Amino acid sequence: MNQISLMDYDEALERFDPVIGLEVHVELNTASKMFCACATTFGAQANTQTCPVCLGLPGSLPVVNGQAIEAAIRIGLSLNCQIASRCCFARKNYFYPDMTKNFQTSQHDQPICFDGSVEVEVDGQVFTVPIERAHMEEDAGKSLHIGGTTGRIQGADYSLEDYNRAGVPLIEIVTRPVMGTGAAAPAVARAYVTYIRDVVRALGVSDVRMEQGSLRCDANVSLSPKGSTVLGTRTETKNVNSLRSIERALRFEICRQAAILDGGGRIKQETRHWHEEGEYTSPGRSKEQAEDYRYFPEPDLVTVAPSPTWVEQLRVSVPPSPTARRRTLRQAWGLSEAAMNDLIALDAVELVAATVEAGADPAAARKWWTGELARLANLAGLPLDHLAITADQVAQVQALIDQGQLSDKLARAVIGAVVAGEGEPEEVVAAHGWALVSDQGALQQAVDQVIAADPDTAEAIRAGRTQAIGALIGAVMRLTKGQADAATVRQLLIERLA
Ligand SMILES: [Zn+2]
């Protein structure tokens, strides 16, 4: 990593225009695979979800999964794509141990969705991302390299193959070159992948979990000298597995390429790998020669010809775009643009929406996710939606506050305990005995005890030094281990000392 020289980002952007391109793979959550009836459950025991079709045994015949086609069309419609009236599958021929058929069933010159575009917003500025195509294909199996220290094939003693994932339906969404984004290029890439994730999640057709590989992104970038229209040589950074990494990997590549071009060097067209820990890319496969996959139409599958009526029916079921949804939510919650942008930056919009849906007040829901929960996520180095707490649970804690059973301070402790895996909010409250003392008799007793223990202060308050009441409130709070409502305690003390 040390030998990679980098140009300062701002300087790179003064000298060059970045052009980005994104390939996003979405693994669909259909119950069965793309061309056979095998189950697709994530994490099942190796090779228990296989059959002659997805193992590529001779003589087996694939059948297209109708649910996958429906999902592909709905994704395409959400990305403002045209839907092909006829399209076919093609064989993409190559050898790799995780693909027993020696070809991947994909689409080539006839993708099911094409010519789309979406608008994404970065810091209030709108950028259009043109989409070339979204096509259907199948996933490969998974190689596990055993022995060695890195989990990679280098240094491994042997490799095992798990074909459970072979044949799981994928949608590959490919942009056209995205130009004119300037210094915002990495942020636009992140906003675009976030947009795809939100669209696909709203459609309910994938779990879109980057860390489980159900949403994967390859990010391309090239640099042109400022003002030039000639495209530079691009590199492709593979399988960047978090939203944050997309932005960082592209920033890194821009700085790296700028330094090479500045030194009179030439960018090698290649695949690169992003290293999350060291935050750098390293070269993978060289792509100097275009790979020849010898595509040809898949003879075992019929042409897919979705009827216009069906497509129009599906169009009606497409949810509003993330941009439109945010506008609606912002109005419903009465937020300023800036406050909404904060939620977007934290990736908290849908979490707040779900918490409101579970019954919390929008202001309270927003306070939890941008305050205590953002702090806990930050401490753990996790994205907000990876915290072990659901929107329902946050709403339950807020309900306990609203009912006067928890103070803000106790509620934060409950939230912390739920995140730490101690159970549902009510269980946590019961287990720790954290509920506020709402029993007036018990509180009255504590108040009397405190007055008896400190007759001087009590006398001073009776004599008109009302500011001294703070000391007695503090004493009651200590006596009740912080589980009394301070306002109630003050009221009881005033009544007693009147
Ligand atoms: Zn199968």
The answer to whether the beta carbons of residues 486 and 477 sit under 8 Å apart is: yes
Q: Which of 312, 335, 361 is the last residue of a domain?
A: 312
Q: Is the pLDDT of residue 323 over 90?
A: no
Residue 306 included in any domain:
yes
Distance 143 CA to ligand 1 centre (A): 18
How remote is the CA of residue 38 from the centroid of ligand 1, in Å? Answer: 4
As a whole number, mean pLDDT of residues 312-318 equals 95
- Asked whether residue 301 falls in the same domain as residue 326, the answer is no
Residues 92 and 166 in one domain: yes
- The pLDDT value given to residue 415: 96
Q: Is residue 491 part of a domain?
A: yes
Residues spanned by the domain of 480: 440-497
Tell me the CA–centroid distance for residue 138 and ligand 1, in Å.
Answer: 11
Instruction: Say whether pLDDT at 451 is over 60.
Output: yes
Q: Are strands 103-106 and 90-93 parallel, antiparallel or unpaired?
A: antiparallel
CB within 8 Å of 402: residues ≥ 6 apart: 361
Contact call for residues 385 and 378 (beta carbons, < 8 A): no
438 closest CA partner among 405, 416, 397: 405
Span from the CA of 165 to the centroid of ligand 1 (angstroms):
9
> In this structure, what token pair is assigned to residue 360?
């919390």
The Cα–Cα gap between 148 and 440 comes to 66
From 386, 408, 432, the end of a domain falls on 432
Query: Tell me: the pLDDT tens digits for 454-482?
Result: 989 988 888 888 888 888 998 888 888 77
Reported residue count of the chain is: 498
Q: 369-415 pLDDT, tens per residue?
A: 999 999 999 999 888 999 999 999 999 999 999 888 888 888 999 99
Asked if residues 242 and 210 have their Cβ atoms less than 8 Å apart, the reply is yes
For residue 372, what are the CA distances in angstroms to 58, 156, 358, 407?
57, 43, 19, 14
Q: With pLDDT > 90 as the criterion, what percentage of the chain qualifies? A: 70
- Phi, then psi, of 390 in degrees rounded to 5: -100, 160
Percent of residues, the chain, with pLDDT higher than 70: 98
141 and 85 in a common domain: yes
Q: pLDDT tens digits for 89-134? A: 999 999 999 999 999 999 999 999 999 999 998 888 999 999 999 9
Do 54 and 119 lie in one domain? The reply is yes
| CA–CA distance, 28 with 207 (Å, rounded to integer) | 8
Give the number of domains in the chain. Answer: 3
Q: Which two tokens stand for residue 149?
A: 């220290």
User: Average of pLDDT values for 361-372?
Assistant: 96
d(CA 95, CA 293): 10
- Examine residue 2 and state whether it is found in any structural domain, yes or no: no
Whether 256 and 364 map to the same domain: the answer is no
**Chain segment 175-203, per-residue pLDDT in tens:** 999 999 999 999 999 999 999 999 999 99
Segment 215-244, tens digit of pLDDT: 999 999 999 999 888 899 999 998 798 999
Burial call 23-46: b when 16+ CB within 10 Å, e when fewer: bbbbbbbbebbbbbebebeeeeee
275 within domain boundaries: yes
Higher pLDDT, 148 or 164: 164
Domain co-membership, 289 together with 360 = no
> Please, are residues 113 and 134 in contact by the beta-carbon 8 Å criterion?
yes
Task: State how far the alpha carbon of 416 is from the alpha carbons of 387, 426, 431, in Å.
Answer: 10, 13, 14
Which residues have CB atoms below 5 A from the ion given as ligand 1?
A: 36, 38, 51, 53-54
| Domain presence at residue 219 | yes
Residue 329 sits in the same domain as residue 281: no
Cα torsion angle, 296, 301, 302, 308, sign: negative
**Is 343 within a domain?**
yes
For residues 55-67, average pLDDT: 95
CATH number for the domain including 491? Answer: 1.10.10
| Residue 50 shares a structural domain with residue 146 | yes
pLDDT confidence band for 287 (50 / 70 / 90): low
Interatomic CA distance for residues 337 and 350, integer angstroms: 16
pLDDT band at 330 (very low <50, low <70, confident <90, very high): very high
d(CA 299, ligand 1 centre) in Å: 19
291 vs 44, higher pLDDT? 44
By three-state DSSP, how is residue 375 classified?
Answer: helix
| Mean model confidence pLDDT for the chain | 92
| DSSP SS3 for 314 | helix
Nearest C-alpha neighbor of 209 from the set 32, 28, 378, 34: 28
Residues near 298 by Cβ (< 8 Å), separated by ≥ 6?
62, 88, 89, 90, 91, 105
Q: What is the token pair recorded at 119?
A: 């608008």
C-alpha distances in Å from residue 234, one per residue of 9, 44, 216, 449: 18, 38, 19, 77
**pLDDT given at position 131:** 98
Question: What's residue 20's pLDDT?
Answer: 98
Does residue 129 sit in helix, strand or coil?
A: strand
Q: How far away, in angstroms, is 302 Cα from ligand 1 center? A: 19
Decide if pLDDT at 173 tops 90: yes
- Expressed in angstroms and rounded, the spacing between residue 94 Cα and the centre of ligand 1 is 20
- Statement to judge: residues 423 and 493 lie in one domain: no
Distance 56 CA to ligand 1 centre (A): 9
Q: What is the pLDDT of residues 258-284, one digit of tens each?
A: 999 999 999 999 999 999 888 999 998
Q: Is the residue at 212 inside a domain?
A: yes
Confidence at residue 485, expressed as pLDDT on a 0 to 100 scale? 79
CA of 65 to the centre of ligand 1 (A): 12
Residue 2 reports pLDDT greater than 60:
no
Residue 12's SS3 state is helix
Flag whether pLDDT at 297 surpasses 80: yes
C-beta neighbour count of 408 within 10 angstroms: 9
Q: What is the pLDDT of residue 468?
A: 86
Q: What is the pTM of this model?
A: 0.83
**CA–CA distances in Å: residue 329 to residues 80, 320, 381:** 22, 12, 28
Burial class (CB in 10 A: 0-12, 13-18, 19+), 168: buried
Q: How many angstroms separate the CA atoms of 421 and 402, rounded?
A: 24
The verdict on 392 and 478 lying in the same domain is no
Q: How far is the CA of 73 from the centre of ligand 1 (A)?
A: 23
CA distance 277 to 241: 12
- pLDDT at 306 > cutoff 90: yes
Per the structure block, which two tokens stand in for 7? 């140009």
Q: Which of 239, 233, 136 is nearest to 177 (CA)?
A: 233
Report the alpha-carbon distance of residue 92 to residue 89 in Å, rounded.
10
Q: How far is the CA of 47 from the centre of ligand 1 (A)?
A: 10
Answer yes or no: is pLDDT of 288 > 70. Answer: no
What separation in Å is there between the alpha carbon of 217 and the centre of ligand 1?
A: 26
Q: Tell whether 355 and 294 lie within a shared domain.
A: no
The amino acid present at 473, given as its one-letter code, is I
Q: Residues 397, 458: one domain?
A: no
CA of 50 to the centre of ligand 1 (A): 4
Task: Supply angle C-alpha 114, 120, 125, rounded to 5.
Answer: 140
CB atoms within 10 A of CB 125: 11
Residue 3 belongs to a domain: no
User: β-pairing, 125-138 with 169-175?
Assistant: antiparallel
DSSP for residue 64: -
**pLDDT, position 290:** 64
Domain boundary among 381, 410, 432: 432
